[in-house]
Amino acid sequence: MLKYLVIPAALLCATSAHADEGQWQPYQLPQLKSELKRIGIAIPAEKLADLSKHPMSAIVSLGGCSASFVSDAGLVVTNHHCAYGAIQRNSTPEHNYIANGYLAKTRADELPGGPNTLVYVTDKVENVTGRVLKDITPSMSGKARSEAVDKNIKALIAECESDKFYRCSVPAFHRGLEYYRIRQMMIRDVRLVYAPANSLGDFGGDIDNYEWPRHVGDYSFLRAYVGKDGRPAEPSPDNVPYKSKDFLVVSAAGLKNGDPVLLAGYPGRTSRYKLPSEIRYARDAAYPAKAAEIQSDLDVIAASTEKSEANAVRYASVVKGLNNVMKKTRGLIDGFARKDIAAIKDVQDAEFRAWYAKQPNSDKKLLAELDALIAADIALSDEEFGYSVATTSDLLKAAAPLYRLAQESAKPDAERELGFQQRDLPFIKARLNRLEQSYVGSVDQARFVAALQRYARLPKSMHVTGLDALLPPVDAVPALYAQSQLGDTATRLSWVGKDTAAFGASNDAFIKLAVKTDDVSQSLKDRRKELDGNLERVIPQYMAAVIAWKKSQGKPVYPDANSTLRVTYGTVSPYSPKDGITKGPFTTIEGIVEKNTGKAPFDAPQNLLDAIKAKRYGQFKDPVLGTVPVDFLTSADTTGGNSGSAVMNKNGELIGLNFDSTYESITKDWYFDRDITRAIHLDIRYMLWVMSEVDHADNVLKEMTIKYPKK
């Protein structure tokens, strides 16, 4: 039986959660049995903890988004914005599937998702903390410790990947207190089945992003394909649909205010256990700098693509991603201004330190050392930000890792840096291939010129030692692009496998720049290794103490999100963002008509508007609302990476797709505030209604198992 194999002693005594806070590892759910029962979840907690059983066996990752199987033939449902790369890849000005949507009426019509569209099926998770930390001693330097941990992790991964159809990883939990080895089947042939028009799948666009009320049909369908032997295979016309051993039944019965939900997916990153000094750095320095940088880059892309529809299409996915990060970053800045989370953390930190000082055998030097390391981390993060600005060129970002690959390839595979082993070659090639759809030389040149100018204006604390003298003058940048062939995909890929001598002899301008700046880049990475190694020695001691302190108060103990499978729960619930205003929990299709202006991003498709006007609600009419619901709110604890996560009812049936959070909720990455934290989900009834009444995706509807409400 495939499930979590070891329950770590550090968390055996975790107490039940307060409110709906917590992004729980599945193995922890039996500890929350009474809480799940209290809100009305009917699935036994022990079943939820088992990855081989329904519904967890139907939950998958897309490597940045979440999704779920909804048929036994590898049909996957996720968000429209999660499938956007695959939609864009197949779009041209003549066949613009972004604008018009796409529906494959037969499996032969399904379009290739490309090398960056993958499906990961998690089937095994085991605690390997002891093996990761084997032979680690307190006397090691930070760099030596970091490299020793990496060596042990690489050995664990190699052991796990003896079956080459699996992809394994060993992420840290609780900032290095624990490590789990995660095995995932990686399906590499993934095809686009159906996506609604962008004016439906992204109705409201960036204006409505992170806002409520929402009226967006954020869904798309993909299909996973494997070889005829049922094993993952390279994309091929001979492949067959993956026979998923489990899938979610879709429920059109809907929910009402107060109903319980379960949500399963792969949340990206949270920072719930960070120190007040780290919050202030993010609030006062890191996030404002990040927002300014992204906006400047967006402005350059807009100016460089405005006269070419083809170039705008090529950069559509890049712009969409940047805009999403920008909206979240600004939301974090506004959230920190609205609520002084640092001050709240100050109180908690003072209480913790007072408690810790009273504990027998506590290390009196621990917290002072931790504070010093956090200060060093902040200083180094400034330089890393500066380096990222100075290297804002897709061609340089292609050349630099290629040269690093050449250097690492001279070593035995087990001794190479993580990310440059033989197992990583498909991903390196996929990243190089990605530029095929999202690169234009003139646009990249404009971005690089503007970035170099911005870098020159950054404070000296953000300038990397030794880098400035190696960067090209702004007036020399056009010559770099004229003297490089890396804009051609075949040329980029041809550098994979070449040795360092070939790089040293190259006349390609960006290859030469990558070679010239490599020492500075490696020096920065080595300094990061030294610091991280020391942090990984001290922070686990701190986290063990924090966990003990929280458990003594009966507070929830769960790890920060780290892109691994998690389960959260909550209830359908409105919220009050400010005095006198209550929002939610449902929106309806009539709201689309109210918002529609006929101009992007509020330009609903005419056939959708016609169906609403005719009140063709069919069996998707909500008995309370009297119409078809579109989106809804719950108190579930989510973050980036949860996009596409299955939202399930008490019986584990699919009733929604997570796609966003309210603007007031964005700071939940740092602090969970039950009163205003709300996740935004697509109501599955709206998806089914559009498929039936608007897009006539009858073949996809027929493939799913749908439970309709009793008449």
> Where does residue 489 rank: exposed (0-12), middle (13-18), buried (19+ CB within 10 A)?
middle
Q: Which amino acid is at 14?
A: A
CA distance linking residue 556 with residue 103, whole number of Å: 45
Helices (H), 124-239: 129-132, 142-160, 198-201, 205-208
* Helix H or strand E segment including 588: strand 586-588
Label each residue of 217-281 as H, E or C.
CCCEEEEEEECCCCCCCCCCCCCEECCCCCCCCEECCCCCCCCEEEEEECCCECCCCCCHHHHHH
Catalytic residue annotation: 81, 218, 643
Beta strands in 47-158 (DSSP E): 59-61, 66-69, 75-78, 102-103, 111-112, 119-127
CA distance linking residue 66 with residue 33, whole number of Å: 25
Beta strands in 154-208 (DSSP E): 166-169, 172-173, 178-187, 189-195
State the CB neighbour count (10 A cutoff) for residue 490.
8
CA 31 to chain centre: 27
Residue 142 contacts by C-beta under 8 Å, 6 or more apart in sequence?
A: 529, 530, 531, 532, 533, 534, 535, 537
678 in helix, strand or coil? coil
Residue 373 contacts by C-beta under 8 Å, 6 or more apart in sequence?
A: 531, 534, 535, 538
Task: List the one residue out of 261, 153, 164 whose CA is nearest residue 573.
Answer: 261
CA distance linking residue 312 with residue 321, whole number of Å: 14
